[in-house]
Chains A and B, each alone.
Chain A
Amino acid sequence: MAAGEAAPLAVSGVKLCKTFITKSHSVQALRDVDISLPAGSLTALAGPDGAGKTTLMRLLTGLYAADSGELTVLGLDAKRQTQALQTRIAYMPQRFGLYEDLSVQENLDLYADMHGVPAVERPARYAELMEMTDLSKFLGRLAGRLSGGMKQKLGLACALVRWPELLLLDEPTVGVDPLSRRELWQIIRRLVAQQGITVLVSTAYLDEAEHCRQAIVLAEGRVLAACAPQELSRAAAGKVFLLTPPPGQAARNLQARLLDRPTVADALPQGAGVRVTLRQPLADPADAPWPAQTQWQAAVPNFEDGFMLLTSAAEPRLPPVLVLHHDGRAPPAAAGEIVIEVRDLVRRFGDFVAVNHVSFQVRRGEIFGLLGPNGAGKTTTFRMLCGLLAASSGELRVLGQDLRFARAASRRRIGYVAQKFALYGELSVRENLEFFASAYGLRGGRRRERLHWAIEQFELSVMLDVPSGRLPGGYRQRLAMAAALMHEPEVLFLDEPTSGADPRARREFWRRITDLSDQGVTVIVTTHFMEEAEYCDRALIQDGGRILAQGAPAEIRRLGARPDGGAPTMENAFISIVSQARLHE
């Protein structure tokens, strides 16, 4: 459809404003937001955490009323005709209300009852939904026992028990592995193509926006861009480059250094090199922010480059380098020593083998990634490493010991950041830090120094007295990291630390991780973001409990080589490795 051609609008909003007022302060969630969604279109809503994405979605559902501005949804006034509106739209919030103790079928029935779907229509409707989501084999399974990806698909099916005219999905792919993510998007695209439904999807995965006809970029409550994703990519033309670091330098070190340059909008490790987005086109190669001996070439810009270019101008600089030891202590023993050794590790739950003869080694100072689709066994492996779960058989050594039976002294040498925010929500930032300092046996002057270090390095001073449960997302993660690092651990365990974080927060996080690794800290990390495997020294891919691939990112990428000989991305490699292995089953 050519631009300018009059398409009927499913949603049209003008100058929408919404302010939340709490006891202490008010937050302007949306400022003069204009939005128009053509009927039957697929639109992505992107933006950093706290940009107002969820607020905008909830305005469209009529759950919130705008403070000012006009909003028409499906020809209805969203403020006044809420009831009529809600029978014609479907909304899937970030945490969809699945009843975990009910089976898949019972969840469907419940939602059909709530939406008043007549009994005669149900069989056909269910069949359609199950065919679409491929859940028919699991009708009897409890929703709580489904994997993350399957839960999201069931959530989508429940939201769709009655065909809506407008479907709103709030970050449906958070915490979902690449394979399931791909399936979800296939479903969404089919809904638009075959049913003519108008769909708005908010997402933290910027590559997903490229599937959409329109992308809206929101930051601090304002629309920065509303256009075809390709248009945003084009804005980065001439500013994106692929660098190959000089031999002997790790790509992530070059990347970390580049992020500090004022002319650089974004830098990411990609393949063996670094992808850089400059704020201005490179007029003279002599002005390039990278070292002279670096090889470089221009790259084709994508949506993420354009997005980072757009949003980085508004956001604060990344934090300075993270220094683990406040007293300038030298990192312990040279790299190379084996810190974690796992041999023939097996874990069974009844008949189900969650981890099947897994073996690997991690050396001091390495960043080691555990990758795999939902339910692959990586979390089980991770929990056994931390000593939170017993192994059924096999050998497991962290710093020479099995942490399950380790004495306090050895556990003092590791740090742990859980997947979900797992600090005490009712306690303030300061009280949490003080508790974990004492838990790790810090006292006296050392305790004071380390508390000071944590507050300083993680820039927590403005939030000290805020209950940690009320912290904004970015601060929560920093607090969790601070609490895990105060005692200067030698090994750091991180379980899906970047799940649900925006691109900026993810870069900030990885920068700290690479800093730590440079200082000799061994890092074990699980992640769903395949491109993040590029930050790892080595990674392993698990599925069905077994190791499918293991090695440096470049080696893993090679395993997933495409038949056409093109360079695969980490995500392509991952998908091809996993689907090939499943094919052989």
Chain B
Amino acid sequence: MWAMCLRVWALTIKEWLAVLKDKRSRLSLIMPPLVQCLIYGYAATYDLNHIPYAWLDNDRGAASQALYAKFAGSGVFDLRATPPNAEQARRLISEREALLIVQIETDFQRHLELGEPAAVQVIADGRNSNTAAAATAYASAIVDQFNVEWRAAHGAPPPPLQVFSRSWYNPNLETRWYMAPSMIATLSLVQTMMLTALSVAREREQGTFDQLLVTPYSANEIMLGKALPAMFIGLGQASLVVVVAQLWFHIPFAGSYLTLYAGLSAFMLAAVGAGLLISAFSATMQQAMLYTFFLLMPFMLLSGLTTPIGNMPESLQYLTLMNPLRFALTLVQRVYLEGADLALLRPYFMPLLIIGALSLSGAALLFRYRLN
């Protein structure tokens, strides 16, 4: 047993050296996750922060000025133009200079003072439906707030129903808070799978695999020796993203590191299993590379990272149960943002461990089959 551990350890060291000795390959482990993490942190966001809009005020009273102040002070809307008439306002939308037009009717102030309903028309560019919906929602929130304040200031009773929304775990509903923890799992998956898939294929191509097979190593020991270093490297990359999320993006970590790393280890096991399965199938590095990309795409799409799993057709939802990334994403988010503990995370741990066990034993079987 001890002898076996020493042998596997030697193989692990060898893999480490092979990956880390070369400066370029060292950089290729650090730079892509770092750059991707920053890109996702900044670019992948559903938040609208600079909505270009035009203000068409046909009343020019104190009330409309007060409403305008609300828009200007929201920090979300950028004023692009104050067109004199509806015709010009229409052109601003058509030419994509403004996403939104806020139009105040002529008798705005008078209606308000008489306690009658006054109309604010919001026209949005519907060519991008998601953005238009989000922008109009922001605008109506501002108008709602204006209503409440106007009533209070003019001695009118408050509106009968009011919504007070508060979001837990991400108080400002920033996409980045959701994205960064997701990157911890996603980015380490890519390289871990690639590393294991390629390392066996590389040895096959260079003829060193035969050399390895005639040594006292058993097929299982070889697999273990390939799996361990890739797992360590994957964990290292995950840590890198954790550091960036906290120190660069200042997203507070709510959970325990022990839980996080336990979860990530279970996930790495499944990722390495998938990588080894690929390497058992492929004879060349080129094949291994192709199979890896072939798997990565559905892993990403079916993980719930960009589109909720609940929105998918039922058959696809079943398919996501085979996807380790699906469970890892939720697991990491819950540890990171919510501070969930091991007991709460059981439903994510178990599938990861099962996927890992199945893929690893599948790879072991296939290896032995191919050797025969």
**Does B111 interact with chain A (Cβ within 8 Å)?**
no
Complex contact B217–A388 (CB within 8 A): no
Chain A residues whose C-beta falls within 8 Å of the C-beta of B207 in the assembled complex: 418-422
- Shortest B364–chain A CB gap in Å is 16
**Does B7 interact with chain A (Cβ within 8 Å)?**
yes
Q: How far is the CA of A431 from the CA of B211 in the complex (A)?
A: 16
Interface string of A393-428 (1 = CB under 8 A from B): 000000000011000110110101011111111110
Stretch in contact with the other chain, from B14-22, B41-49, B335-343: B14-22
Chain A residues whose C-beta falls within 8 Å of the C-beta of B21 in the assembled complex: 426-427, 467
Pick from B6, B18, B208: contact of A438, CB under 8 Å: B6
- Shortest B18–chain A CB gap in Å is 5
Chain B residues whose C-beta falls within 8 Å of the C-beta of A404 in the assembled complex: 371-372
Interface string of B1-26 (1 = CB under 8 A from A): 00100110111011001100110000
Q: How many residues belonging to B are interface residues under a CB distance threshold of 8 Å?
A: 26
Q: How far is the CA of A419 from the CA of B210 in the complex (A)?
A: 11
Chain B residues whose C-beta falls within 8 Å of the C-beta of A435 in the assembled complex: 10-11, 13-14
**Does B254 interact with chain A (Cβ within 8 Å)?**
no
Q: How far is the CA of A404 from the CA of B214 in the complex (A)?
A: 9
Within A248-268, the residues touching B (CB, 8 Å) are none
Q: How far is the CA of A421 from the CA of B14 in the complex (A)?
A: 17
Q: Name which residue of chain B comes closest to A443, CB basis.
A: B6
Q: Name which residue of chain A comes closest to B215, CB basis.
A: A439
Q: How far is the CA of A371 from the CA of B152 in the complex (A)?
A: 103
Within B94-110, the residues touching A (CB, 8 Å) are none
**Does A386 interact with chain B (Cβ within 8 Å)?**
yes
Q: How far is the CA of A359 from the CA of B227 in the complex (A)?
A: 41
Q: How far is the CA of A553 from the CA of B60 in the complex (A)?
A: 113
Q: Which of B3, B9, B14, B218 has the most CB of A within 10 A?
A: B14
- Shortest A99–chain B CB gap in Å is 14
Complex contact B214–A387 (CB within 8 A): yes
**Does B213 interact with chain A (Cβ within 8 Å)?**
yes
**Does B167 interact with chain A (Cβ within 8 Å)?**
no
Consensus secondary structure, chain B interface: helix
Q: Name which residue of chain A comes closest to B225, CB basis.
A: A439
Consensus secondary structure, chain A interface: loop
> Given that A422-B207, A441-B7 are known contacts, is A436 also in contact with B215, CB under 8 Å in the complex?
yes
- Shortest B218–chain A CB gap in Å is 7
Chain A residues whose C-beta falls within 8 Å of the C-beta of B17 in the assembled complex: 426-427, 431
**Does A453 interact with chain B (Cβ within 8 Å)?**
no
> Given that A424-B14, A426-B18 are known contacts, is A439 also in contact with B7, CB under 8 Å in the complex?
yes
Q: How far is the CA of A423 from the CA of B208 in the complex (A)?
A: 6
Q: How far is the CA of A408 from the CA of B13 in the complex (A)?
A: 20
Q: How far is the CA of A422 from the CA of B207 in the complex (A)?
A: 5
Chain A residues whose C-beta falls within 8 Å of the C-beta of B371 in the assembled complex: 390, 404
> Given that A424-B14, A427-B18, A439-B10 are known contacts, is A386 also in contact with B214, CB under 8 Å in the complex?
yes
Pick from B11, B22, B210, B217: contact of A418, CB under 8 Å: B210
Chain A residues whose C-beta falls within 8 Å of the C-beta of B155 in the assembled complex: none
Beyond contacts A408-B217, A439-B212: 19 other A-B pairs, Cβ-Cβ < 8 A, are A386-B214, A408-B3, A411-B214, A412-B216, A414-B214, A421-B207, A422-B210, A425-B206, A426-B17, A426-B22, A427-B14, A431-B14, A434-B10, A435-B13, A435-B14, A439-B215, A439-B217, A440-B215, A441-B3
Nearest 7 pairs between A and B by C-beta? A438-B10, A408-B216, A422-B207, A416-B214, A439-B215, A422-B211, A435-B14
Task: List A residues at the B interface (Cβ < 8 Å).
Answer: 383, 386-388, 390, 403-404, 408-409, 411-412, 414, 416, 418-427, 431, 434-436, 438-441, 443, 467, 493
User: What would be 20 A-B contacts, judged by CB atoms less than 8 Å apart?
Assistant: A386-B210, A387-B214, A388-B210, A403-B214, A408-B217, A411-B215, A412-B216, A416-B211, A420-B206, A422-B208, A423-B208, A426-B17, A427-B17, A427-B18, A427-B21, A434-B10, A438-B7, A439-B7, A440-B215, A467-B21
